[in-house]
Amino acid sequence: MASADSSSTAGSVPAELSSACEDVTLASAADAVGGRQARYVAAPASTAEAAALLRAASGLGLTVVPRGSGSRLDWGARPTGCDLIVDTRRMDQVVEHAAGDLVVTVQAGTGLHDLAKVLAAAGQRLALDSPANAGSTGGTVGGLIATGAAGPLRYRYGAPRDLLIGITVVRADGTVARSGGKVVKNVAGYDIGKLFAGSLGTLGLITDATFRLHPRPEAAAWVTLDCPDSASAAAAVRTVADSPLTPSAIELDWPSAAQPISVSALLEGDTDSVSGRADRLGELLERATAGQSSAQTKRADDRPGPRAPADAHEESKPGASPSGPVDADGRGPSGTLVRVAFWAGQLTAVLTAIRAAADAVALDPGICGSAAAGVLDVSVPASAAAVAVADFVAVLRAGLEGLADGLPPSRASAVVLCAPPAVRDAVDMWGPVPSLALMRAVKDQFDPGHRMAPGRFAGGI
């Protein structure tokens, strides 16, 4: 069996891999996942070629990690093995765009920016934001599904799993499995798509996906209000969410404890509607904060995006939540990104818990995300000591435990999405995981040999 811990790229590509896939090379020093060096890199161009490749890898006993653009490849725990990286970017075709049915089928390596151009020509869009810092492609479709990444539009349209109506995957032994269909009403086998969404490549390789689409809005505008504290920010978020103005996104941005908290709402539709609703929303927000702040309306492309930590090399793009601080090449993380999920009604308590945990260890992280959807990203600069970051995460998790605020029992969680090696070694990336036994059973069913991105997911799955 090939060694999962081998860091050497010496030798040659096994004939079994070369026969299965025409594009297989020895890995370079840059081909690593969470610091785990790969031995080989293969780039299949079709589902059939991917299936042959994984059959060959299975016969050789190789561990496998899928890779798209690589922008979120360091999300999750360090895999315990990474013999073969399967790069999907040769699978970059729009297979079918049924514009009349508002449905598109694309290969997993298709860049989101490229897909957006194709759909825009028909006045349509896939209502998933291109993650910030995702490079020239905007990230790939397969990577978006595998990481479950979603930006501001998640408030109205949901995460990738909510727009996915069909999927094709290849299991570790090369078996091809398909579920769902090409029409919105066909939901047969839809649960497989949900299982693979956010699985970080631990269940199999995604090769194509079918999504339901939405019409492209004629106009869009952000209405932004700067709030002095967490209570007023939560009031502003609640005002927007409770209004009849149908916002597409409700975002929060708090760069540091010393700065105000910006609450921004995205309004989309026809030009006249957006203009009138923006004026009305501005009035509602100013009333909600007793006139302490004035709301500002900006065109969608003028809205300041959530700001990245001071040591990041590029800012997050407008209207997109960050995928984490990055190195100069735009791929690996340079800081720590913690994803906090919670009941939306607990926003004030959650913001208080984050700042209290940061104060306890003398850190000042940036906070941003889809506040009304109950998802916030906490960014800690790479300059922070690993022990301080680990203590921050531990204190934060303790503070989130048992939050109630009159709501059902808390489901608040803090997951470290990506972090520098020293932090990874000092912190439990996932924290407490409900239903871990069930998750292990799913892993055993799809990948009994535990060769797909082993150890990358919660509980060492």
H-only helix segments in 215-259: 230-242
Q: How confident is the model at residue 35 (pLDDT cuts 50, 70, 90)?
A: confident
Which pTM was predicted? 0.87
Phi, psi of 86 (to 5 degrees): -100, 105
For every residue of 119-130, which 3-state class applies, written as one string?
A: HHCCCEECCCCC
Angstrom distances, CA of residue 31 to CA of 4, 62, 190, 460: 14, 16, 33, 22
All structural domains of the chain: 94-215 (3.30.465.10), 219-302 (3.30.70.360), 336-437 (3.30.70)
The predicted model gives 235-242 an average pLDDT of: 95
In terms of Cα–Cα distance, which of 63, 78, 62 is closest to 14? 62
- Amino acid at the residue 248: S
Question: What are the tens digits of pLDDT across the range 106-132?
Answer: 999 999 999 999 999 999 999 998 666
Mean pLDDT of the chain: 87
pLDDT value of position 9: 43
pLDDT value of position 334: 76
Q: How confident is the model at residue 301 (pLDDT cuts 50, 70, 90)?
A: low
Tokens coding 400 = 């989130």
The predicted model gives 133-154 an average pLDDT of: 86
Burial class, 12, CB count within 10 angstroms (exposed 0-12 / middle 13-18 / buried 19+): exposed
In terms of Cα–Cα distance, which of 43, 15, 9 is closest to 28? 9
Of 166-170, 220-224, 313-317, least confident by mean pLDDT is 313-317
pLDDT value of position 317: 34
H-only helix segments in 243-344: 271-288
Question: What are the tens digits of pLDDT across the range 383-412?
Answer: 999 999 999 999 999 999 877 555 566 678
- Amino acid at the residue 400: L
pLDDT value of position 3: 41
